[in-house]
Structure 1
Amino acid sequence: MDIGISTAIFYPDVLTENAVELLAAQGFRTGEVFANSFFEFTPEYALELRERADRVNFRITSVHTVSSAFEPYLFDAYPRRREDFFRIYQSFVRFAEILGAKAYTFHGLVKRPHRNMSFQDVVYIYDRMIYEGLEHGVALAQENVSWCLSGDLEYLKRLKDAVKEPLKFTLDIKQAVKAGKRPEEYLELYGKDLVNLHLNDHDASAPCLLPGKGTYDFRGLREKLAAVGYEGPGIIEVYKENYTALEDLAASRVYLERILG
């Protein structure tokens, strides 16, 4: 497994393109790009970012974005608003394609949709999004997020069973912990449809720590990933307060490479 990292670990102090270069200097060769503004998922910016990433041999495997700023509106009760934000989604998929990313980490609905929107309406929107992504070689990778509907295992199962095309998934360890679940519960549901993995650690007092600083059983995770045939990257995703120096990030990568690499 390639151990990579998310550029989100620098928010809001470092511009995304500079984050890629800083991480490459620490030995990272794989990562997830978090676009922090609408400006950052334009074709012009994507081309610049791809050039800078290629220059430092940094492979972008997945993308993420300011989800709360537009993802819920994809399911808005007002049809024209839905179409507005679907066009934004299309631009983000093209952004991912230019970068060479194969997955878009997606939060989805924060809460139950408006009463005018049925579950089948939600499924139809997912089907459109999945198809649009496939047209550009990008998988829609639903992430388990504790403060969204996707933190609910039953909701995820219902969604997975209902869509026409296979829905792909991002497993985030800390979000499982925050939802009061074991990460393995989500992994069992995702199975072979897991395409992205957010790695972080935790202990009894903190739900998110840098890998190697907590008590999570990464060796046990390795066995369960092997059982579902996962061959994708492992992306370190923590918050800025979870480390003090760039060298801490590199040390965490080395720790994970010994176990998962």
Structure 2
Amino acid sequence: MEIGISTAIFYPEVLTEDAVKLLSRKGFKVFEVFANSFFEFTEDYALKLRSIMNEEDVRIRSVHTVSSAFEPYLFDAYERRKDDFFRIYQDFLKFAKILGAEAYTFHGLVKRPHKNMTFKDIVYVYEKMVYEANVQGIALAQENVSWCLSGDLEYLRRLKDSVKGPLKYTLDVKQAVKAGRSPYEYLDVYGEDLMNLHLNDHDTINSCLLPGSGNFDFTELFRRVESLGYKGPGIIEVYKENYDTLDDLVESMRYLERLTP
């Protein structure tokens, strides 16, 4: 398994394009790009970022974005607003396609946006999103997020059973820990539809640490995802306070590389 990293590890101190440059020059070759503003959804910015990728000889495996700023509105009760944000979603898929990304990491709903929304309505939106993503050659990869509906295992099971089309999934270890669950409970739901993997460590006190700084058994995780046929990278995703220097990130990458199959 190739070990990559998310540009989100610098938020909010470093611009996305500068994050790619800094990390690539430290030896990282595969990325999840976190677009931190609507400015970064644009075609012009995507072309600029792709040029930097080519110069640095790196690739973007997945994309993420300011989820809480627009994803809940994809399910809004007001049709015009919902349509507006679906167009924004389409723009972001085009951004991802320009970068050559294979997956869009999706948080989704924090809660049901209005009292009349049924689970059937939620499924309908997901099916529209999955279809539109596939038109662009992108997989919609629902992430388990502790503070969203997707932190609930039953909600994820219902999505998996109900959504027609190839809905995929992102496993985030720290978000499983924050939800009081084992990451393997989420893997049991995802199965062979696992599309993306966020790597972070933890201990009995801290829910998120740089891989190698806690007590999580990454060897077992890698064995489990390999048994599911997962062929993608492992993406280091931690918070700014979880490391001190760029060399800490490199050391974490080397640690994980020693454990990979």
Normalising to structure 2: TM-score of the pair? 0.99
Indicate if the aligned counterparts of 1:174 and 1:202 stay in contact, CA closer than 8 A: yes
Q: CA deviation at 1:167?
A: 1.0
Which residue in the other structure is 2:13 paired with? 13
1:24 deviates by: 0.3
| CA distance, structure 1, for counterparts of residue 239 and residue 82 of structure 2 | 31
Q: Give the residue type in structure 1 aligned to 2:125.
A: I
Give 2:196's aligned amino acid: N
Instruction: Verify the 8 A CA contact 2:139 2:166 in the aligned structure 1.
Output: no
Q: Identify the residue that residue 205 of structure 2 maps to in structure 1.
A: 205
Paired position in structure 2 for 1:156: 156
Structure 2 residue aligned with 1:140: 140
For 1:81, the equivalent position in structure 2 comes to 81
Q: Aligned partner of 2:49: which letter?
A: L
The SS at the match of 1:191 is: helix
- The answer to whether the 8 Å contact 1:160/1:166 transfers is no
- CA–CA distance in structure 2, aligned partners of residues 231 and 251 of structure 1: 23
- Equivalent residue for 1:71? 71
Aligned-residue offset at 1:166: 2.2
Cα distance between partner residues in 2 of 1:126 and 1:78 = 17
Partners of 1:117 and 1:79 lie apart in 2 by 13
Q: Using the alignment, how far apart are the partners of 2:114 and 2:98 within structure 1?
A: 34
SS of corresponding position for 1:104: strand
Deviation at 1:227, TM superposition (A): 1.4
Give the CA deviation at 1:230: 0.7
Partner Cα separation in structure 1 for residue 208 and residue 25 of structure 2: 25
1:226 corresponding residue in structure 2: 226
Shift of 1:54: 1.3
Q: How far did 1:114 drift? A: 1.1
Q: Secondary structure at the match of 2:13?
A: coil
Q: CA deviation at 1:252?
A: 0.3
Amino acid at match of 2:234: G
Asked if the contact 1:109–1:148 (Cα under 8 Å) also holds between the matched residues in 2, the reply is: yes
**Pairs within 5 Å for 1:1-261:** 1-260=1-260
Superposition deviation, residue 112 in structure 1: 2.3
Q: Could you tell me which amino acid in structure 2 is paired with residue 125 of structure 1?
A: V
**One-letter identity of the residue aligned with 2:132:** E
Secondary structure of the structure 1 residue equivalent to 2:61: strand
Number of residue-to-residue matches in the alignment: 261
For structure 2, list consecutive stretches of 5 or more residues without a partner in the other structure. Answer: none
Determine if contact 2:4/2:235 at 8 Å carries over to the other structure. Answer: yes
2:216 corresponds to which letter in structure 1? Y
Q: Normalized against structure 1, the TM-score is what?
A: 0.99
Q: CA deviation at 1:115?
A: 1.5
One-letter identity of the residue aligned with 1:44 = D
In 2, are the aligned partners of 1:4 and 1:28 still within 8 Å (CA)?
Answer: yes
> What do the CA deviations read for 1:204-231 (whole angstroms, capped 9, x no partner)?
0000000000000001111111211111
2-structure distance, mates of 1:77, 1:116: 8
Deviation at 1:116, TM superposition (A): 2.0
Q: Distance in 2 between matches of 1:221 and 1:111?
A: 30
| Aligned AA (2:214) | G
Matched letter for residue 110 of structure 2: V
1:157–1:189 CA contact under 8 A, matched in 2 = yes
CA root-mean-square deviation: 0.7
Q: Which runs of 4+ in 1 moved over 4 A?
A: none
Deviations 1:111-144 (A, max 9, x none): 1231221111110100000000000010000000
Looking at structure 2, the residues matched to 82 and 192 of structure 1 have their Cα atoms a distance apart, in angstroms, of 31
Please give the secondary structure, in 1, of the residue aligned with 2:196. Answer: strand
**Mapped contact 1:211–1:252 kept (Cα < 8 A):** yes
